[in-house]
Structure 1
């Protein structure tokens, strides 16, 4: 691997206009006072890295639930899924992944299946690490039906700084595990609801890599894992 591949990461197209805005402001800051200009350079570089979209080695297997986000698991708890998804009002294991402003914010599908419902809910902007963020914050919820009829929910939640949730897919789409399905700008959280009877293979405080870290296995029979670059 070359050094440039380590430093220069692919950037999602959504980020170009923000980098352009930061760069224009930086130019003005240099005209006003050089130290402010260098501060602008730092912020412009941060903006570029915020929108980075690196290739991931996605484990292949219909029985795998993969992390949809980079970040740290803030909570694992049994709760009912969001009402707007129309799922049964029975507790499911929810894995909450908190993303700081330094994490990759491109989100990836946790499983392969059909997106049978997608529901956007406007709301408030509490700190995304708080439990009440799942209920009160702006969010975009996805209900994904697996090949065997079981369902997984995945919810993008805006945080204290985040102000825009951008979906890349539409209701009815066939998703592939690890596929990019959306992005949240500037700090947020992802909740994954596992089917009943499926136990998580991760723990609170563990660091996640979107599209790579396995959250759970839907079946108990394990075989050799294969990966694809995406």
Structure 2
């Protein structure tokens, strides 16, 4: 009996250690070397899966085949939109792409409904949980959208409107698998392409 109790105790301890190690690894926020100068850094670590231009405030992008739409306030169109996909092994904190003031923030709860207008009847129009911030300095405004899956309340923002951020400051986190979308003025040249692997706070995606 004691033998089985010991085995059970060791198993419980092993499971606890594994879970604790995973949580610690998942919530890590490594130090980054933030580039100096008039550069825009990646707000997230992950793969660039989509780049496109948008001519209006309402933008659309896909997350796992699901259409997401959002009206961007605080950045004048037209835009360049870069979608970064994070997998479970990536760092899940988000950093400010430029230094400046948070002039706008909007959180959208997750909503899920059928898309009757879709050409693909299996496709869903899904307003995943999202959080948009817009950071403005003397030169430009940049928007960053945190996007979670269909389960809501997985996005954390550490900032409020009117807060000041330095380039590379951690401002938020997405707790599970996710995307980050960066919205840039269309006139800026994009220094990344689909398939690139970006590092939060270090990879330069544009200059101004």
* TM score, norm. by length of structure 1: 0.70
- Alpha-carbon distance between aligned partners in 1 of 2:12 and 2:112, rounded to the nearest angstrom: 30
- Of 191, 194, 197 in structure 1, the residue corresponding to residue 184 of structure 2 is 194
The aligned residue for residue 83 of structure 1 is 71
Q: Give the SS at the match of 1:190.
A: strand
Q: Which runs of 4+ in 1 moved over 6 A?
A: 132-135
How far the C-alpha of 1:110 sits from its partner, in A, is 0.4
Residue 67 in structure 1 maps to residue 58 in structure 2: no
- Looking at secondary structure, tell me which structure has more strand per residue: 2
For 1:72 and 1:97, the matched residues in 2 are separated by 5
Q: 5 Å matches for 1:151-170?
A: 151-159=141-149, 163-170=153-160
**Is there any run of 5+ residues in structure 2 with no aligned partner, and where?**
1-5, 58-69, 114-122
Aligned partner of residue 172 in structure 1, secondary structure: coil
Equivalent-residue separation in structure 2 for 1:161 and 1:46 (angstroms):
21
> Aligned-pair RMSD on alpha carbons?
2.7
Aligned: 1:58 with 2:34: yes
Higher helix proportion: 1
TM-score (norm 2): 0.77
2:146 and 2:155 in contact (8 A); partners too: yes
Aligned with residue 146 of structure 1, among 137, 158, 172: 137
5+ long unaligned stretches in structure 1: 1-29, 127-131, 219-230
Matched-pair contact (CA < 8 Å) for 1:144–1:151:
yes
Q: Which residue of 2 aligns with 1:101?
A: 88
CA positional deviation for 1:86: 5.1
Q: Secondary structure at the match of 2:28?
A: coil
Greater Rg over alpha carbons, structure:
2
Between Structure 1 and Structure 2, how many residues are aligned? Answer: 181
- Is 1:41 matched up with 2:17? yes
